[in-house]
Amino acid sequence: MKKGLYLLLPLFCFLLSCETAGNQGEIDALEKKVEADPNLKNINELVGKYEEYIKTNPDDVEMNGRYLYRAASKRYQAKNMQAVTRYLQRGITEFAGSSVTPNSLLLLSNTYKDQFKNAELADFYAAALKQAYPNHENAAKVESKNTMDDLIAANRNSMFTDSTNTRLNPAVARKLVGMYGTYASVLPKDAKTPEYLYSVYEIANSSRLFADAAKACEKLYKNYPDYEKSSTAMFLTGYLYENELRDLDKAKGIYTEFLSKYPKHDFADDAEFALANLGKSPDQILKELQEKNKANSGGE
């Protein structure tokens, strides 16, 4: 049986490579079509094909970064600047290993400067370019008055709208999530990066940006296992997928791995309880606990 699987493996790889080549062929054809006639319909079709490729090839860091940069460029042509920043920020935070990331940082900085007149974010992405890629040719094309740390600290100090530091300013919180996420992506080996990823979790979770919170925790425990809060981040990832993102299969896998790695952790009992009750409603859990207590007390 194993021999049969080994014989089939090259066929699977061949079919996958053919599918990938086919997708890229379609993209090449659509890019030529947009170049000849850059109307909105053609641009939408091309960007949709980029997104389809990224969805089906999530581990292709190089091409995914390139396609998000190209999607941003096409949206720039169509004067949809919100989409431009969205695609560039996604490329930078999710596929920073792509060789096109310095170009994405440059375009993002210029977009905030020229289109949104937002000097602060233009400065931040210029600083990211200079700090992460000081020898890249694009670094000479921008000026930054501050470092990323300076701008993060300034926003952190203005994150709350009250003197008790309990009410978040939503706009500043979203900005900080983006800043911390960018820093962690372009400077993955920096000593502050694990701390910044945990800060993304704290702010995003408080702001109900649960997908951002889960991604930050997942990146933290996978890439920085020796960080003091890494094990806690792993449990929190499972919690977020279970209770906020409602992906129970994902939560189950994370809880199971957590218990295997950290059976004596403070949250081990919580993970065991969560696994035993995945998908159950609070009323169902309460009823089962009451019945269990009743049975343990001899049915009194």
Domain 192-294 has CATH 1.10.10.10: no
pLDDT at site 299: 55
Residues of the chain with confidence (pLDDT) below 70:
1-22, 298-300
Spans of all domains in the chain: 39-146, 192-294
Is the Cβ–Cβ distance between 148 and 179 less than 8 Å?
yes
| Cα separation, 68 vs 74, whole angstroms | 10
Partner residues linked to 168 by β-bridges: 160
pLDDT at site 288: 80
pLDDT at site 285: 86
- What secondary structure, in 3-state letters, does 195-251 show? HHHHHHHHHHHHCCCHHHHHHHHHHHHHHCCCCCCHHHHHHHHHHHHHHCCCCHHHH
pLDDT at site 20: 54
Looking at domain 39-146, which CATH architecture does it have?
A: Alpha Horseshoe (1.25)
pLDDT at site 28: 92
Is the Cβ–Cβ distance between 108 and 144 less than 8 Å?
no
pLDDT in tens, 180-192: 999 999 999 999 9
pLDDT at site 22: 58
pLDDT at site 83: 97
